[in-house]
Amino acid sequence: MRPPELVGRQSEVDFVNLMIAKSTQRRNDGGLIMYGLRGVGKTVLLNELQQLVGRAGWVTVQLEARPGQSGRLAVRQSLGRGIAMAGRQMARFRSAVEEVKTAISTISAFSFTVAGVSMNLGVDRSDHRANSGLLEVDLEELVADLAEPLRKNNSALAIFVDEMQDLDVDLLTALLAVQHRAVQSDWPFFIIGAGLSTLRRTLAEARSYVERFTIREVGALPDEEARAAVRNPATALGAKISDDALEAILGEAQGYPFFLQTFGKAVWDIAPDRNIDREIAVAGIAEGNADLDQNFFPARWDRTTPGERQYLRAMVDVGGGDMASTSAIAEQLGTAATSLSPVRQSLIEKGIIYAERRGYVSFTVPNMDRFIRRQADTDE
Ligand SMILES: Nc1ncnc2c1ncn2[C@@H]1O[C@H](COP(=O)(O)OP(=O)(O)OP(=O)(O)O)[C@@H](O)[C@H]1O
Ligand SMILES: [Mg+2]
């Protein structure tokens, strides 16, 4: 949900504005990938950036990756449809009409080849472009054929990818490789992605292509911004929040947007009038925490097996909030580190932990350690 006040993301907005400005001058300095913990505001930011480039006349495609074989098929469907919809948008271009038509016939072939999508775009499907069935080849031909007509209409193509850590390796590689080619040839093609911190490791393995990306962490909000995120929407509605009430909320949320919104909402709902003092804030925070314990944390916890829970508890015991050493976890559990690697791997695949550094694991969810402590053994 778009927050009433989207704060603290100006540098990403500026970055994309610069990307637009350069593209107008036929330059491409590469795509943008953002990573961060659960609930830190990645999706909201991606949507904001998509609107931004849309207002600049860019054509966009929105993908949300999901794990497994079904995710692999679903994301290809979205890609095929999204590109076809992009073709619809391009059909309205005013300049280079003949080139646009050729591009749309490539689009038609691409959508059909990648996902069996056959949408009537008013031109015949190309019988020699973007139809090899090799994703990387077809995507490159697509982007190559779109480049000139997009440029001549002062536009560009951007693919937005959310939950990028779940993208299958074939599509990920194809996207990275084509971004690489686009930079070399200054084609107006950009990938803007976001995902969990797990992504950094995946990207590091893709090596050289990643040089064509700016990679940024989306983190917790600094104090001033977190304050604005809570205070401004409230004052806009005529409420008064006392300083100590605000401090209580900020202290509990630690700058994490999802927590700020949860506590903000709970405090708002509980307040009998528009004067919010510390007492109301404290009561609201308790409500908010109950809500998080019911709805936010269990979404991850409930998907784990007993063995995985043991591992997570050991992680909390040895490491607390930040990184936990895998050998310390093994020691805590009284086994060898190697015998724990399947458990570790499946927790990574479930998006609950990530391993940024060799030999260490961390939670993808802020404050997950505190939640686990609260689950004192009741379920074992
Ligand atoms: N910059 C911000 N300022 C204020 N609130 C924000 C900001 N960014 C996100 N939020 C709020 O925080 C919540 C989480 O945002 P969002 O869904 O974008 O997070 P996410 O990083 O995509 O989470 P996940 O990893 O679970 O997909 C939403 O309620 C959103 O409105
Ligand atoms: Mg998200």
| CATH 3.40.50 placement within the chain | 10-217
pLDDT at 376 over 80: no
- For residue 3, how far is its CA from the centre of ligand 1 (angstroms)? 8
| CATH 1.10.8.60 placement within the chain | 223-296
CA distance 223 to 217: 17
- Ligand positioned closest to the Cα atom of 64: 2
pLDDT digits (tens, 9 = 90+) for 146-180: 999 999 999 999 999 999 999 999 999 999 999 99
- For residue 40, how far is its CA from the centre of ligand 1 (angstroms)? 5
Architecture of domain 223-296: Orthogonal Bundle (1.10)
What mean pLDDT is reported for the chain? 94
Give the helix ranges, DSSP H, for the chain. Answer: 10-24, 42-55, 68-90, 97-115, 135-152, 169-185, 198-205, 223-236, 243-253, 257-270, 278-291, 298-301, 306-319, 326-333, 341-349, 368-374
The fold for domain 300-374 equals: Arc Repressor Mutant, subunit A (1.10.10)
Tell me if residue 14 falls in helix, strand or coil.
helix
Angle at 294 between CA 288 and CA 297, to 5 degrees: 90
pLDDT for the residue numbered 88: 96
pLDDT digits (tens, 9 = 90+) for 30-82: 999 999 999 999 999 999 999 999 999 999 999 999 999 999 999 999 999 99
pLDDT digits (tens, 9 = 90+) for 171-210: 999 999 999 999 999 999 999 999 998 888 888 877 678 8
Q: Is 80 in the pocket of ligand 1 (CB under 6 A)?
A: no
The fold for domain 10-217 equals: Rossmann fold (3.40.50)
- For residue 132, how far is its CA from the centre of ligand 2 (angstroms)? 33
pLDDT for the residue numbered 147: 98
| CATH 1.10.10.10 placement within the chain | 300-374
pLDDT at 369 over 70: yes
Sign of CA dihedral 287, 292, 294, 295: positive
